[in-house]
Chains A and B, each alone.
Chain A
Amino acid sequence: QKEVEQDPGPLSVPEGAIVSLNCTYSNSAFQYFMWYRQYSRKGPELLMYTYSSGNKEDGRFTAQVDKSSKYISLFIRDSQPSDSATYLCAMMLSGGYNKLIFGAGTRLAVHP
Chain B
Amino acid sequence: GAVVSQHPSRVICKSGTSVKIECRSLDFQATTMFWYRQFPKQSLMLMATSNEGSKATYEQGVEKDKFLINHASLTLSTLTVTSAHPEDSSFYICSASGPSASPTYEQYFGPGTRLTVT
Provide the residues of chain A in CB contact with B112, threshold 8 Å.
Answer: 41-43
Q: How large is the interface on A (under 10, 10 to 19, 20 to 34, 35 or more residues)?
A: 20 to 34
Complex Cα–Cα for A6 and B93 (A)? 21
Number of A-B contacts (CB under 8 A): 59
Q: List the interface of chain A (C-beta within 8 A of B).
A: 6, 8, 32, 36, 41-46, 49, 88, 92, 95-105, 107
Q: Which one of B11-19, B43-51, B62-70 is at the A interface?
A: B43-51
B104 pairs with A97, CB closer than 8 A: yes
Provide the residues of chain A in CB contact with B4, threshold 8 Å.
Answer: 43
Provide the residues of chain A in CB contact with B97, threshold 8 Å.
Answer: 97
The residue of chain B having its C-beta at the shortest distance from the C-beta of A86 within the complex is B41
Q: Which of A49, A96, A104 has the most CB of B within 10 A?
A: A96
The residue of chain A having its C-beta at the shortest distance from the C-beta of B4 within the complex is A43
B110 pairs with A43, CB closer than 8 A: yes
